[in-house]
Chains A and B, each alone.
Chain A
Amino acid sequence: MTREDIQGLVLTAVAGVNASRDADQQLPVTPDALVFGPGSPLDSLGLVGLLVDIEDALRDAGHEVSLSDSRAMSQSRSPFRSVPTLVAYIDELLASPA
């Protein structure tokens, strides 16, 4: 998968999560948007739901990855901070052997 593919998949998942969120709690669906942390309305439960959706979409594309495991937690900079950091993290996971 190219970075563009991954970005498209992440943005589709964000838009999917928005469908069940209140109007004033919407997440921006842009390539540079914040995802989790200061400045984002997403709480940890919302993040878990988003990550599971991304995992499902990756599985549909033939890639079995786990996003919210201890590996993600142990990163010095959260990979979930923004769309670009999330895309980079997924790209890294897909490139490295499981």
Chain B
Amino acid sequence: MIDFLLDALDADPGRLAIADKAGAWTSADVKAAITRLGALIDAAGPVAGRVVSLEAEYGLEAVAAFLALTARSAIIVPLSQAARAHHESFLETAQVEVRVTCDETAPPRVAHTGRTAAHPIYDILKTRGTPGLVLFSSGSTGAPKAAVHDLERLLRKFKVKKRAFRTIVFLQLDHIGGVNTLLYTLSNAGAIIVPSDRSPAGVCRAIAEHKGELLPTSPTFLNLLLISGAIPQHDLSSLRLITYGTEPMPASTLTRVAEVFPTVKLQQTYGSTEIGILRSESRGQDSLWVRVGGEGFETKVVDGRLWVRAESAMLGYLNAPSPFSEDGFYDTGDLVEVDGEWLRILGRKSDVINVGGSKVHPAEVESTLLMMEGVDDAAVSGEPNALTGHIVTATVRLSTGETLAAFKGRMRAFCKDRLESYKVPARVRLAEGPLYSERFKRMR
């Protein structure tokens, strides 16, 4: 199952494979850790076809345990420290039978929960004899949905060799993007660099220290990085590629990133918990147009919405009805503009604000606000209004110390020639705390 990943580790045992809080580890160290964690897991009983949580700080042991469980055809439920508040409900929803814990408090340990998992989707994996992966979607409404993947299918696309990068790990193993980054990096004999913290300064330090080449991240983090002042304080000349996804990129942020990193290639990624990560290509450095798909993926646009059919799609949800159409397509809920084979992602259908019958995409308004002097971050949403159905509401974080009234006046003047009048926020709130989530996604 993971032979090709082990081969990539064997090819050059002395090279840097993982750098984490505890130290820098070679391929040989990773190989040894896989054996060590595997023995620990085996000592507690067989895990093939069993539901096993992996509660881990990202690092050598988490990666080794992930691979050891994959090799043993376990159904893995990665739970990051950041989602600690949800652990109990996630353990229950996924019917976790065995818990593997790798954290700083004690050596790695394995414990049985006493549960026995039973779900038709798990039966599919057991029949196939393949490892599974359970990921919780970070849906903004309702309870998080538990998506079950056949991990063997997710692994398949990584058998085709690509370029190796020393990669900054940004998303955790409980996120499809984090799993994708791990598998890409391992299969191509790259190195995984875990920043000591995910602040802009922490990420810059990690890039400088380990000569990081690839930074997979989100538009929100890039915006944070730009305003942090951390960029000029670190040697980031090793960076070759920045990829961004998980939410629409504000045009203004992309333009600034391209200015600040003129020699770095910028590439948009696209994917979801349900369908995996699609191969993608950006039309140009500061272009929001992207071509998505590649082998194993089919796309179509119906009524402006993007639908995807993927070989690597999940088998289904544990706690919700199947979202797939009869012919296997998945409605991403993303509204797109189409130009031949190129797409531009406008935002989630559910985020669109209807102001007196005119549609407003929050991302466009946020992009405009972010161009204003002193606006560190902006999150735009709709608010019901008796006159126009909804009004546009903006929450902004300012570095200017202006009053609300003063900022509103300046904002209206700024937006006058840049946005149609119905897109200009009617209500503005000044925020004190951050406007983004644990996964560096803008919270509206």
Contacts and interface: CB of A to CB of B under 8 A. Distances in A.
Interface of A: 16, 19-20, 43-49, 51-53, 56-57, 68-70, 72-73
A52 to B, nearest CB: 5
28 contacts: A16-B409, A19-B409, A19-B412, A19-B413, A20-B412, A20-B413, A20-B416, A44-B356, A44-B387, A44-B388, A45-B388, A45-B426, A46-B421, A47-B387, A48-B388, A48-B426, A49-B426, A52-B391, A52-B426, A52-B427, A53-B405, A53-B408, A56-B405, A56-B408, A57-B405, A70-B386, A73-B386, A73-B387
A74 to B, nearest CB: 9
A45 B356 contact: yes
B413 A48 contact: no
B320 interface: no
Interface residues of B, number: 19
- Taking chain B's interface residues, is the majority helix, strand, or loop, or is none over half, making it mixed? mixed
B412 A48 contact: no
Given A19-B412, A20-B412, A48 B405 contact: no
Interface in B399-414: 404-405, 408-409, 412-413
Contacts of B25: none
Given A20-B413, A45-B421, A48-B391, A72 B386 contact: yes
Consensus secondary structure, chain A interface: helix
A53 B416 CA distance: 17
Contacts of A46: 421
A63 B221 CA distance: 38
B385 A48 contact: yes
A43 B409 CA distance: 18
Contact of B387 (A20, A48, A53, A56): A48
Contact of B404 (A44, A47, A56): A56
